[in-house]
Amino acid sequence: MIPRYQTILFIVLLVASVAMGGVLWNLRERAHQRLVAGQDSAPTQAPAVAPAEQATLVVANDDDNTLLQQAQSLPLPQDPGQRARAILGKLLDLYAAPGSAHPVPGGAGSVAQVFLLPASSQNSDPGAASGNSKASSAIPRAEDKTAVPKLGDSIPDDTRPLLAVVNLTGAFVAGHPSGIETETLTVLSLCGTLHANLPRVTQVRFLVDGQPRATLAGHADLTRTYLATDDVAQP
Amino acid sequence: MHSTKSVSMRALGRRPLIVALVAMVAAAGLLAGTATAQTEPATAAPQSRFVVVLDAAHGGDDPGGRLTGGISEKAFTLALSVRLRSLLAARGIQVVTTRESDSTMEPNRRADIANHANAQACLSLHATETGSGVHLYASSLPPVEPARFAAFKTAQAGWVTRSLALAGVVNSSLLGAGISVKLGRTALLAVDSMTCPAVAVEIAPKSPPDRATGAPPAADLDDPDYQARIAEALAAALLEWRTEAREP
């Protein structure tokens, strides 16, 4: 004869086991749904055949610490963000080529995205002084980070200045040579190239794998907003 | 009994006075604490006390760049800082260093040390294997009028003009020692927060790498003669800077 208390205990344990099984099944379903939602199931955009256009690259040279304009012909998409990414990709391809005067590994795939956002008027002070060398014209601003517009903001009319947010890959940053000169030249050549081809871009910020980062490779400050002016595009 | 009561009443009567005194001391402490954010006017009168801050970049968990010869940037900058400190001390210049060992130090802490030293010159020492010669960088912050209070991250803006002048003096001294120099401006976290004439000195190999053959640069960063020439030239520049600072 099974005692009554043992029967009750068995029933309680059975109910608890069933309930825990149900909770586990529910958690498993929710985890599965999260994984499915995390996958980018959007259809990839078919590559459009774009005609070759002239682009101006501001190319760095480590030997004399200068930035010089260089015209390149390459197919460019119509979308401004993708256009900026293609141009910067071409610039980084030059740096990754053998014999480059500014050797930086990585190439075109090092720019993950370029977002173009309306620049806040607080940051669009063109009167900020420029440096005394060609390599110093894209000067940083140290305003607070809250001034950066949200990614959802629409690009306004064709006259307002733009802020370009360049999202670099972690692999590019990890492989970038360390040094004040080489890092500064990379940052300034990216800023100058953006402004030379998209004159409305007057400010540039950098992200690495979508996150803010203190420096490029231990030296050049990436927490600042860089002002891209006409000076840097001058030969 | 009566006298005990009167004493306690007097003590009660003094309590507001004590509280007021404590509040005054606390306020004085707060004022002293905000001194780091204050910037002395860049055109302040020359001072008899001449202090140089040497900031050996990187250290500890942050090795910096990997230089030819297998040495790390943090070790190179520390060795240069020690050598330069000795040279300056021998010339009667007071030196404050941001680090004396292989220790991790945040940029804000480096700037904090420099700002508390009330220095007349701050050198941030770096090394690289790209380029050639010595690279001198001043802050790329736009110059502003010196203000009594300045944002910490851009405190150098009020000193940029003096920093450029210091870079010119260092440039002349290095050129005089037969070392090639490249001048520029950049954004460095520590330097941009310093309230002193500040220059980043980046030591590169004597000769650039041969791009045609792809050969690595000569391992001359660890050449004692090259290092000694640079240290002597920097010490001479700071002596010249002291002379200029003391001229009316």
Q: Residues 6 or more apart from A214 whose CB is under 8 A from it?
A: A221, A222, A223, B189
* pLDDT of res. B36: 41
How far is residue B152's CA from residue B112's CA, in Å, rounded to a whole number? Answer: 9
If DSSP codes are grouped into helix, strand and coil, which group holds residue B106? coil
| Minimal C-alpha gap between B232 and chain A (Å) | 22
Phi and psi for B104 in degrees, rounded to 5?
A: -75, 135
- Centre a 10 Å sphere on the Cβ of residue B206 and count the other Cβ atoms it contains: 17
- B206: closest chain A residue by CA: A63
Q: CA A61, A62, A67, A73 torsion: positive or negative?
A: positive
Residue with tokens 């809250």: A146
How many separate domains does chain A show?
Answer: 2
- What mean pLDDT is reported for chain A? 82
ipTM over 0.85 threshold? no
If asked whether residues A168 and A109 sit together in one domain, one would say: yes
Q: Does A146 map to a domain?
A: yes
Model pLDDT for residues A193-202, shown as the tens digit of each residue: 999 999 999 9
Model pLDDT for residues B77-107, shown as the tens digit of each residue: 999 999 999 999 999 999 999 999 999 999 9
Q: Please list the residues that pair with A72 across neighbouring strands.
A: A55
Question: At how many degrees (to 10) do helices B73-90 and B224-246 cross?
Answer: 50
If asked whether residues A88 and A3 sit together in one domain, one would say: no
If asked whether residues A22 and A62 sit together in one domain, one would say: no
If asked whether residues A157 and A100 sit together in one domain, one would say: yes
Which alpha helices (H) appear in chain A, and where do they start and end?
A: 4-38, 80-96, 170-175, 180-197
Contacts of A218 in chain B (CB under 8 A): 58, 62, 64-65, 73
Model pLDDT for residues B163-221, shown as the tens digit of each residue: 999 999 999 999 999 999 999 999 999 999 999 999 999 999 987 766 666 555 555 78
Q: Does A83 map to a domain?
A: yes
If asked whether residues A57 and A25 sit together in one domain, one would say: no
User: What range does the domain containing A151 cover?
Assistant: 52-233
Pairing between β-strand A225-227 and β-strand A162-168 as defined by DSSP bridges: unpaired
How far is residue B233's CA from residue B106's CA, in Å, rounded to a whole number? Answer: 28
State the average pLDDT over residues A83-100: 94
Residue with tokens 């390599």: A135
Angle (CA) B232 B46 B154, round 5°: 80
If asked whether residues A164 and A69 sit together in one domain, one would say: yes
Q: Does A149 map to a domain?
A: yes
Residue B41 in tokens: 């006017």
CB B97 within 8 Å of CB B144: no
* pLDDT of res. B147: 81
With CB atoms and an 8 Å threshold, state whether A180 touches B189.
Answer: no
What is the distance, to the nearest Å, from the Cα of residue B188 to the centroid of all Cα atoms in its chain? 12
| Minimal C-alpha gap between B68 and chain A (Å) | 12
For residue B247, the one-letter residue type is E
Angle (CA) A99 A194 A102, round 5°: 15
Say if residue A185 is exposed, middle or buried (CB neighbours under 10 Å; 0-12, 13-18, 19+): buried
How far is residue A110's CA from residue B94's CA, in Å, rounded to a whole number? Answer: 46
If asked whether residues A17 and A78 sit together in one domain, one would say: no
Domain boundaries, chain B: 1-33, 48-246
CB B191 within 8 Å of CB B198: yes
Q: Does A107 map to a domain?
A: yes
Residue A29 Cα distances to A17, A34, B70, angstroms: 18, 9, 53
If asked whether residues A127 and A220 sit together in one domain, one would say: yes
- CATH class of the B48-246 domain in this structure: alpha beta
If asked whether residues A20 and A57 sit together in one domain, one would say: no
| Minimal C-alpha gap between B205 and chain A (Å) | 12
How far is residue A29's CA from residue A41's CA, in Å, rounded to a whole number? Answer: 19
If asked whether residues A139 and A210 sit together in one domain, one would say: yes
Closest partner residue to A142 (CB to CB) among B58, B73, B154 is B154
Q: Which candidate in B140, B164, B180, B189 is best for mutational testing of the A interface (most A CBs within 10 A)? A: B140
* pLDDT value at A134 more than 60: no
Q: Does A119 map to a domain?
A: yes
Which of A41-45, A106-110, A143-147, A149-153 is least confident? A143-147
Does the beta carbon of A212 lie under 8 angstroms from any beta carbon of chain B? no
If asked whether residues A57 and A1 sit together in one domain, one would say: no
Closest partner residue to A221 (CB to CB) among B65, B189, B204 is B189
A-to-B residue pairs, Cβ atoms closer than 8 angstroms = 114
